[in-house]
Chains A and B, each alone.
Chain A
Amino acid sequence: MDMFFQLVINGLAVGCIYGLVALGFVLIYKAGEVVNFAQGELMMLGAFVAFTLIVDFNLNYWLGLALAVLAMAAFGWLLDSVVVRRIIGQPQFSTVMLTIGLGVMMRSGVSIVWGPETRSLSTPFDQMVFQVSGVMISPIYLSILITTVVLCAILALFFRFTRIGLAMQAASQNQLAAYCLGIRVKRVLSSVWALSAGVATIAGVLLAPISLIDVNMGAIGLKAFAAAVIGGFGSITGALLGGVLIGLIELFSAVYLPEGFKNVAAYVVLLAVLVVRPQGLFGTVGRKKV
């Protein structure tokens, strides 16, 4: 039974990471209909930047994290305003290829600048261990859960009450109408990219204690992608829940199913969901109008 709870906690934590990266996908997709296959790489880059600031420059953990988020937000903004914006209106295939290309470039750039070694990032709460009625809760996993919940609350408030958050919602519903209402749609789209890159950075830093920082961290992006699809692309809650679902399934299948299922569990679930409910668990059916 203890193991069961342990798995639930760990699965939730890993799932939160998937959920956060998936959240970035969904934000960008909702805003500009660009499917960002480089989201995992943004996360990786964010983790590397944070590592450099915290370890190499010896900054305080929280200060380093904040600076990394800001730097990556600026990077996300530039990525949209310099590169991605140019292909709006092109077929979807172009956006897929563009973001795949950007992801490959980011990975190779990181490998050139930082080298291929793996790094570990120590957190201020490494040493503590909580024990709740026999279940050991590692503070790392707990920190992931808490940060995700807080971050989601902040995002919910942000979208609900701030001007820019409302503008983002408006632009994602109808760009032309938003434009007519005086919203600077281009700027809003860029800020969505900035927001998404910032969230990805936080996810990367949260992930760092679990799976070390290395160039292939971005592979998580694919699983997060599966999470976004399971949740119904376009629903923020769906993305988070999809992430949690995949995290739980993955850890449970690692323990209770034959070896090898851990790697494919996410994809099997994804295919099953696509067959049974193609619009995702939380999506709504839409008909394209001519």
Chain B
Amino acid sequence: MRFIFKTHYDQDIDLFPHAGAVFWYSLLAIAAVCAPFFLDPFYLGELSFLFIWSLAGLSLMVLTGYTGLISIGHAAFIGVGAYVHAFLTRNGMPFVPSIICGGIVSALAGIIIAIPAIRMRGLYLAIATLAFSAIAEELFVRWETLTGGSRGVAVPMPVLFGNELDGEVGFYYLCLAVLVICILGVLNLLRSPTGRAWIAIRDSEIAAQSMGVYLAGYKTLAFATSAFLAGVAGGLLAHKVGYLTPDIFTPILSIQLLMLVMVGGLGSIRGAIFGAIFLVLLPTLIAILRDYLPNAIGQQPALEPGIFGLVLVLVVLLEPQGLNGAWMKVKFFFSQFPMYKNATFKRQKTYMRTERLQ
């Protein structure tokens, strides 16, 4: 753990905490920009998938990791964004305004959900999102002019500044640019009073309220921001899959997103990326694992969700900070090398905290 000697108040809101971070993140940025020159198009496609997942994870991270609200229906927001973007693109709108419109419509949906949430605490909010996603799923099937019903609808190629983007390389850069813009936007929000209010709400609603944080407003804002990002991710996803059907936006997607933020590590943007990497890699790992298992188990299609569930349970039980927490521990181990104490990250025994819904 690096202790930063602060000599100025502005250092509290620096985008990068120290020069080392600037160096490593620039290196990462260069690697990401240069990737198309030495990577196979297949891997580029996988990377753009990774970026879309990261963006979706980022949207849920804002809501769950930073504001402490649970959404069990995030797939619906992604779906709204995807369908609106696909509809506008088909009617000839260029990429940038169209994806922003998709995000805004999705954000409006988020606000509509959050309005009842003004009066709700904790879990009821999660339930409202669940109800919303069930309703949205039905809507995707029934509203045929917009969504093409259960037959689905084809999504044209993105048109950027008059040029049609086809091929993996163009789309890779598009996803990368959108992801970087969104991450920077979220980082900026987080170091502003808004972000601090969100974090305060996450840590203790009552304490935040007594410090003068307007709970309903900030919760609604968190929902809107999160839904906007989810809508943007949905727009990119629409291009990536090329053909939208309602069965993409099922509760399974919502659960995968929850798993992404949980496994990645709640309350860190890095966590969203780690979680996305994990989610993209896991099916491949399972495919390798299948060969080593006896046929009776190895060839079952249900093995994959089972392993997803198992990973989720193990993460909750053993490493609640997720991959980001594990990464921090490894870093701490090496920076403190001979002096590392096991007890540093020992979980404190806690007693039951009541959040009873009465």
Q: Collect the chain A residues with CB atoms within 8 Å of residue B309's CB.
A: 100-105, 108
Chain B proximity of A255: nearest CB distance (Å)? 17
Which of A42-50, A70-78, A225-233 binds B? Answer: A225-233
Q: For residue B141, which residue of chain A has the nearest CB?
A: A260
Bound Cα distance A29, B354 (Å): 11
Q: Which of these, A29, A104, A116, A264, contacts B312 with CB under 8 Å?
A: A104
Q: Which of these, B64, B255, B301, B353, contacts A100 with CB under 8 Å?
A: B255
Bound Cα distance A290, B127 (Å): 25
Given A33-B354, A87-B317, A89-B352, verify A97-B135 contact (CB < 8 Å).
no
Q: Collect the chain A residues with CB atoms within 8 Å of residue B120's CB.
A: 274, 278
- The answer on a CB contact under 8 Å between A278 and B119 is yes
Q: Collect the chain A residues with CB atoms within 8 Å of residue B115's CB.
A: 275
Chain B proximity of A65: nearest CB distance (Å)? 26
- Secondary structure class of chain B's binding surface, majority of residues: helix
Bound Cα distance A92, B349 (Å): 16
Which of A139-147, A159-167, A197-205, A279-287 binds B? Answer: A279-287
* A237-265 contact mask (Cβ, 8 Å, vs B): 1 or 0: 00000000000000000000000100110
* B102-142 contact mask (Cβ, 8 Å, vs A): 1 or 0: 00000000000001100111111011101110110010011
Q: Which of these, A33, A104, A229, contacts B356 with CB under 8 Å?
A: A33
Q: Which of these, B123, B255, B313, contacts A92 with CB under 8 Å?
A: B123
- The answer on a CB contact under 8 Å between B138 and A96 is no
Q: Collect the chain A residues with CB atoms within 8 Å of residue B231's CB.
A: none
- The answer on a CB contact under 8 Å between A111 and B128 is no
Given A89-B351, A260-B142, A290-B206, verify A234-B358 contact (CB < 8 Å).
yes
Q: Collect the chain A residues with CB atoms within 8 Å of residue B305's CB.
A: 104, 107-108
Q: Collect the chain B residues with CB atoms within 8 Å of residue A83's CB.
A: 313, 317
- The answer on a CB contact under 8 Å between A271 and B116 is yes
13 other A-B residue contacts (CB within 8 Å) besides A33-B354, A112-B300: A89-B351, A92-B123, A93-B64, A97-B312, A100-B255, A104-B255, A111-B302, A226-B127, A226-B131, A234-B358, A260-B138, A275-B119, A288-B121
What are 9 contact pairs spanning A and B, CB under 8 A? A33-B352, A93-B68, A103-B309, A104-B309, A108-B303, A264-B134, A271-B128, A271-B131, A274-B124
Chain B residues with CB under 8 Å of chain A are: 64, 68, 70, 72, 115-116, 119-124, 126-128, 130-132, 134-135, 138, 141-142, 206-207, 255, 258-259, 262, 266, 297, 300-306, 308-313, 316-317, 320, 349-358
